[in-house]
């Protein structure tokens, strides 16, 4: 391990590993699991809002647990949490294949909440940013790109396994993926935490503002609230897109590729914004990405004949935002309490995402379709865009 850490390219290895970890955790919890929705609804006869409550449990639970996870990252480092998350994800997916009632699903999505808090974006971003000092924007962009990579690759894989093996066996087979990632973290990832000595030529992990000071800054609250509204919109879209495409008479294969297209566009947006964040004003770029995502969502809701181009526009906007939210937190507040600060913002984002998933399902059931439900999503995204326009840069001391 120490031999690897001494290599000049080791920070890039960490960034790639963090990207794969995010692809696994987010991809399996968010996009990948939705491919099985139709099979679950057909077999058990639940309403859409009943089924989608499980996803809200995931994000609400994550919003409660991520602050604890942020405190643990600052105290003990990121490696123990990543190992815990991958182990729990493998166990939960294996158990999912044996589910026979709604309460069982709700319990497993509570486990998913712990996975999202311990091995999701926050922990991996801190890991990548800690090891990478000079190209931090790109490292964060690569890590966040994992959400799109997972969303791009896992839905078609899940659909193929579902078609050939049935949903129960497909879920058990997919449990092998986080088991492999557990081993890679165990063997390859070096841990760092508060009090670790600074790397040669790198940034001291204790630099930046305290969590208490960050809470007193208006930039923190603007980012947190805008993040909640943005996550409301994007997670509503990811969670309901498969069923929405089916409602437009697309085949299951095309519906799964719609998820992949959205994720692929997000991947491009994340990598591009990570590269550009080190070179341009990230705040102006952030506001542009908000407008792109808002325009794309409006097109998805009002122009079903143009749904694929609008999904691509939404994905590019979302990809840039996903990277820039996290990059700006590091830019504004530094690494000193990065776990707590990122974790606190993640509380808002997870709560917004949970509300978006549930509210969209509820609106669908109440209004008899997705048309009006998408208008709710667009309205919330517009509110987040207004908040983003108020953001001004004040860098950490």
Sequence ranges of the domains in the chain? 2-389
Mean pLDDT calculated for residue range 86-95 = 96
Q: What is the CA radius of gyration of the chain?
A: 20
Total-model pTM: 0.69
Query: Which pLDDT value is given to residue 201?
Result: 39
pLDDT above 50 (res 388): yes
The more confidently predicted of residues 106 and 275 is: 106
More confident residue, 192 or 331: 331
> Which pLDDT score, from 0 to 100, does residue 202 have?
44
Rounded mean pLDDT of 180-201? Answer: 72
DSSP structure string for 170-227: HHHHHTHHHHHHHHHHHHHPPP--TTPPPPTTS--TT-B--HHHHHTSHHHHHHHHHH
| Inter-CA distances, 3 with 87, 190, 279, Å | 26, 11, 32
Averaged pLDDT, 113-124: 90
Model confidence at 336: pLDDT above 90: no
Rounded distance, CA 310 to CA 245, Å?
13
> What is the reported pLDDT for 2?
65
Residue 1: what pLDDT? Answer: 59
Indicate the pLDDT class of residue 208, thresholds 50, 70 and 90. Answer: confident
Write down the pLDDT at residue 214. 86
- pLDDT value, residue 3: 62
Q: How many CB atoms lie within 10 A of CB 368?
A: 10
CB 54 within 8 A of CB 46: no
- Domain 2-389, architecture per CATH: Up-down Bundle (1.20)
At 206 the pLDDT is 54
Tokens 């929405």 -> residue: 244
Average pLDDT taken over every residue of the chain: 84
Query: What average pLDDT does this structure show over 66-90?
Result: 89
Write down the pLDDT at residue 233: 94
**Above 80 in pLDDT, residue 110?**
yes
Predicted pLDDT of residue 259: 82
Model pLDDT, residue 180: 96
Listed range (18-27, 107-116, 141-150, 223-232) with the worst mean pLDDT: 141-150
- Asked whether residue 191 carries a pLDDT value surpassing 60, the answer given is yes
pLDDT interval class at 197 (50, 70, 90): very low
Which tokens in the block code for residue 98? 């044996």
pLDDT at 273 over 90: no
Secondary structure class of 334 (helix, strand, coil)? strand
For 370, the enclosing helix (H) or strand (E) is: helix 370-389
Give the mean pLDDT of 330-340.
77
Q: What is the pLDDT of residue 133?
A: 67
Q: What is the mean pLDDT of residues 159-183?
A: 93
Select the more confidently predicted residue: 278 or 358. Answer: 358
Average pLDDT score over residue span 339-355 = 82
Other beta carbons less than 10 A from residue 216's beta carbon? 10
Instruction: Please give the distance of CA 291 from its chain centroid, rounded to a whole number.
Output: 20
Give the confidence band of 299 by pLDDT, cuts at 50, 70, 90. Answer: very high
Q: Lowest-confidence range among 151-165, 304-318, 337-351?
A: 337-351
| Residue of 235 and 206 predicted with greater confidence | 235
**Mean pLDDT value across residues 126-140:** 78
Above 90 in pLDDT, residue 189?
A: no
Does the structure show a pLDDT above 60 at 222?
Answer: yes
């Amino acid at each position: 391990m120490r031999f690897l850490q001494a290599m000049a390219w080791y920070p890039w290895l960490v960034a790639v590993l963090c990207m794969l970890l995010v692809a696994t955790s987010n991809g399996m919890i968010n996009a990948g699991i939705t491919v099985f929705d139709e099979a679950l609804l057909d077999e058990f006869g639940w309403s859409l809002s009943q089924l989608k409550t499980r996803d809200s449990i995931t994000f609400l639970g994550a919003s409660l647990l991520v602050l604890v996870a942020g405190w643990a990252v600052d105290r003990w480092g990121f490696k123990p949490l990543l190992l815990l998350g991958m182990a729990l994800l493998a166990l939960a997916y294996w158990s999912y294949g044996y589910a026979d009632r709604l309460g069982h699903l709700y319990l497993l999505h509570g486990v998913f909440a712990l996975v999202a808090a311990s091995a999701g974006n926050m922990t991996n971003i801190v890991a990548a940013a800690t090891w990478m000092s000079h190209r931090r924007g790109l490292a964060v962009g690569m890590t966040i790109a994992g959400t799109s990579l997972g969303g791009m690759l896992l839905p078609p894989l899940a659909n193929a396994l579902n078609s050939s093996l049935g949903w129960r066996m497909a879920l058990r087979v997919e449990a092998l993926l986080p088991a492999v990632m557990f081993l890679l973290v165990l063997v390859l990832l070096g841990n760092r935490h508060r009090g670790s000595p600074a790397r040669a030529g790198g940034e001291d992990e204790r630099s930046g503002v305290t969590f208490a000071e960050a809470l007193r800054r208006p930039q923190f609250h603007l980012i947190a609230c805008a993040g909640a509204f943005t996550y409301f919109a994007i997670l509503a879209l990811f969670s309901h897109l498969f069923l929405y495409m089916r409602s437009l008479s697309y085949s299951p294969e095309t519906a799964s590729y719609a998820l992949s297209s959205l994720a692929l566009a997000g991947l491009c947006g994340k990598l591009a914004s990570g590269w550009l964040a080190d070179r341009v004003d990230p705040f102006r770029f952030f506001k542009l990405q908000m407008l792109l995502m808002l325009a794309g969502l409006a097109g998805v809701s009002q122009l079903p004949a143009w749904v694929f181009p609008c999904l691509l526009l939404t994905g590019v906007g979302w990809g840039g935002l996903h990277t820039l939210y996290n990059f700006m937190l590091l830019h504004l507040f530094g690494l000193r309490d990065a776990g707590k600060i990122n974790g606190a913002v993640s509380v808002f984002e997870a709560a917004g995402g949970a509300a978006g998933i549930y509210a969209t399902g509820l609106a669908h059931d109440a209004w008899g379709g997705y048309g009006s439900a998408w208008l709710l999503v667009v309205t919330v995204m517009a509110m987040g865009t207004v908040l983003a326009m108020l953001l001004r840069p004040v860098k950490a001391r």
